[in-house]
Structure 1
Amino acid sequence: MSGAGSTFAFPLLSQWGAKFQAVEESGMDIAASLDGPLAPEGGLGSPLSPWAGGLDYEPVGSLGGIMRVIAGAVDFGASERPLPAEEVDRHKLMQFPIVTGGVAVVFNLPGVADGALRLSGAVLADIYLGKVTSWSDPALKALNPDVTLPDAPIDVVHRGDGSGTTYNFAAYLADASGDWRERVGVDTELKWPVGRGVKGSGGIVRSVAADRNSIGYVEVGQARRDGLPAALVENRAGEFRAPSPDSIAAAAAGADWAGSRHHDLLLTGATDPRAYPIAATVHVLMPRETGPTSARTLRFFDDALTHWRRDAVDLGYVPLPDEVVGQIRSYWKSTQR
């Protein structure tokens, strides 16, 4: 089974892929008691075909994943930027969420601990617009009166490839800053006014970890695993929140998945005062046509969403609620052709 796209979700998909390979090699389906949309007879409870090899997933970024699944080069693409429902229909695809996570704003400031730095959306936008260029800028001092910030230039790091993480980060900045909306906008690839572009989430982590006075953005689980401190970020209610499982779950709680066509929702507009404001959902895109390949792909995601949820928690993501998983399984049945 082949997939491509999100670097944000790569650690989780890798873990799920290893488990699926073990299930396939055993020749049995762990979801034997469940019904599913996979075949006219048998469903998810039937024995697996004697496939082997698990998952071959390339973390090429969300834009690359979208392009590859549209071209028919992979069995599925993964992206934090959902395609609009009209595009999903035009390309005869299905689109559904698999997990939620957070985009952490990470920094390298000696002596400034994790969760000590506060950033509003407006000031963060001004940093990435090149209007706030020093850590000693009055706007940063006003947000952080009890933090000793260096009188040093801000080393701005951003993604240089097409990225769903960038899309959600830019959506948050656009919500907070009219200047950002007009000058830069929201997309997987941007014309950045300042900073240096790096490839993939790993490039952000390596650059920020290595370079003093730098700032970047990356999936929160990866930031935690690599020991990068993250800022508290201001939400719509004016509260500064850390990217924690509870604050990400609060952002996801208001999502109307059932009311959206092909699940084309972003979470960056959450209004709950407890919510972390840069939450992102990973979406899977795959062809609608039925057949052995699509059946195997859906079997993989069914097992992942129902049996391997703990992997998401352990890696710093937030699993989908049971109710949403049930809605997704119904969506498979109604959308596959």
Structure 2
Amino acid sequence: MNVTPIRRALVPGVAALALLLSACGGDAEGDSGDGGDAADLANLSGEVAGGGASSQEAAQLAWIAGFTTVAPEATVTYDPVGSGGGRESFISGAFAFAGSDSYLTDEEGELTSATERCGGEAPIQIPNYISPIAIIHNVEGVDDLNLSPEALAGIFAGKITKWDDPAIAATNEGVSLPSAAIDAVHRSDESGTTENFTDYLDAVAATQWDAGVVETWPEEYGGQGAQGTSGVVDAVTSGTNSIGYADASQAGDLAVANIGVGEEFVAPTPDAAAKILEVSPPAEGASDTALIFDLDHTTAEAGTYPIVLTSYLIACQTYSGDEAAAGELAKGYLSYIVSAEGQQFGADEAGSAPLSDELSSQVQDVVEGITVE
């Protein structure tokens, strides 16, 4: 398994973070009062396992490395098995916490099962990672690419098969598009990134994309499947005239498309992605401990990137008995992730968008409310 351990070599900037925490008087949570200080975290020891969304992998590596500076005796692992695998392992008790690119629902009984796993209390669900889903491409002779929602849906539905198709050419005047077959790459595993991407396609171009919102790619739409975010990036990188979708933080040197929003085409920047939560309503089932959102993909708000992955942390409200030690570590680690410093560090190292001040305060309150008996 591809498990990210806490004692892995530190990513660039961790030393600077340690100095920052020291300069803040040792407060690992900054001045926000969000769940303990460096002295509390420094007393943590033992091991805790989590995992799930592979989109969070780069950020989790940064957070784990940063957490090491304030809790050197603690060991955290994050296994990027995908959102579905993360939720399954959390429900089974194999993970003390999970990362998921979609919130829990009862469409397949997951919310009920997670509530049972947490002793009858609904699990907490808090956004911790916001990032644009970039449309990565490797098209011969093309660096800048504008795609309308309809053209993007047609490509991934297998209805637009050549790069010089009129639907693509119409928004790329002056660009020399090759008369070549499109190699469309999708996730082959159950994926919250796929769910968020198809949620967008379903909302903006249902006539082209008629498979609805899915976590598992529909076989009838064809294309090339690849395992995990890294698999999609690798396939597009090594492919010819290829296109795929992946968390923007892991796009590397690949070109990314600008997506049509209203009268403009918007690039997948963290700032543009963060704006979508400002125009999106809470999801059905949202509560004081479930801060979940239904993203408004159809927004025409200027400067807003509409294909956004809002990834969540899932944990129990109470840990007791045999899970008490892991629960204490999980609470400490989650409090670090959602702190002002942790969010900024994730943005600096992994390209995510920090939570807004208001949402950050709400998220910190939820984590602080976790009890260990």
2:342 alignment counterpart: 308
Q: Secondary structure at the match of 2:318?
A: coil
CA contact (8 A) 1:62 1:188 kept: no
Q: Please give the per-residue CA displacement for 1:289-324, whole angstroms capped at 9, x wherever unaligned.
A: 233322321211212222222322222110111221
Instruction: Please show how residues 282-293 of structure 1 align to structure 2 within 5 Å.
Output: 282-290=311-319, 291-293=324-326
Larger deviation, residues 65-74 vs 283-292: 283-292
Question: What do the CA deviations read for 1:253-296 (whole angstroms, capped 9, x no partner)?
Answer: 23455993312314352622220010111101112223332232
CA deviations over 1:42-93 (Å, ceiling 9, x no partner): xxxxxxxxx432x211111111111111111111111111113895465222
> Counterpart in 2 of 1:101?
131
Look up the equivalent residue of 1:14 and give its one-letter code: L
How does 1:6-25 map onto structure 2 within 5 Å?
A: 6-25=53-72
Match of 1:320 among 328, 347, 355: 355
Amino acid across the alignment from 2:185 = V
Residue number in structure 1 paired with 2:145? 117
8 A contact 2:98–2:315 mirrored in 1? yes
The SS at the match of 1:66 is helix
* Match in the other structure for 1:52: 74
TM-score, length-scaled by structure 1: 0.84
Q: Could you say what secondary structure the match of 2:170 adopts?
A: helix
Displacement of 1:335 in angstroms is: 7.0
Closer, same or farther in 2 for the Cα pair 1:298/1:277, shift >3 Å?
same
Identity across matched positions, percent:
32
For residue 277 of structure 1, what is the aligned residue in structure 2? Answer: 306
Whole-angstrom distance in 1 between the partners of 2:179 and 2:264: 27
1:333 Cα shift? Answer: 5.2
* Unaligned 5+ runs, structure 1: 26-50
CA distance in 2, matches of 1:292, 1:17: 18
Q: What does residue range 1-337 of structure 1 map to in structure 2 within 5 Å?
A: 1-25=48-72, 51-53=73-75, 55-84=76-105, 87-88=110-111, 91-92=114-115, 93-113=123-143, 116-180=144-208, 182=210, 184-192=211-219, 193-223=221-251, 226-235=252-261, 237-256=262-281, 260-261=286-287, 262-269=290-297, 271=299, 272-290=301-319, 291-306=324-339, 307-314=341-348, 315-332=350-367
Following superposition, the deviation at residue 118 of structure 1 comes to 0.7
In the alignment, residue 247 of structure 1 is paired with which amino acid?
A: A
Measure the CA separation in 1 of the matches of 2:298 and 2:272: 11
Q: Report how many residues are paired.
A: 305
CA root-mean-square deviation: 2.1
Distance (Å, rounded) in 2 between the aligned partners of 1:88 and 1:263: 14
CA–CA separation in structure 2 for the residues paired with 1:103 and 1:109: 18
Q: Give the conservation status (yes or no) of the 8 Å contact 2:153–2:209.
A: no
Matches of 1:331 and 1:258, distance apart in 2: 17
User: CA–CA distance in 2 between the matches of 1:256 and 1:173?
Assistant: 19
Equivalent residue letter for 1:190: W
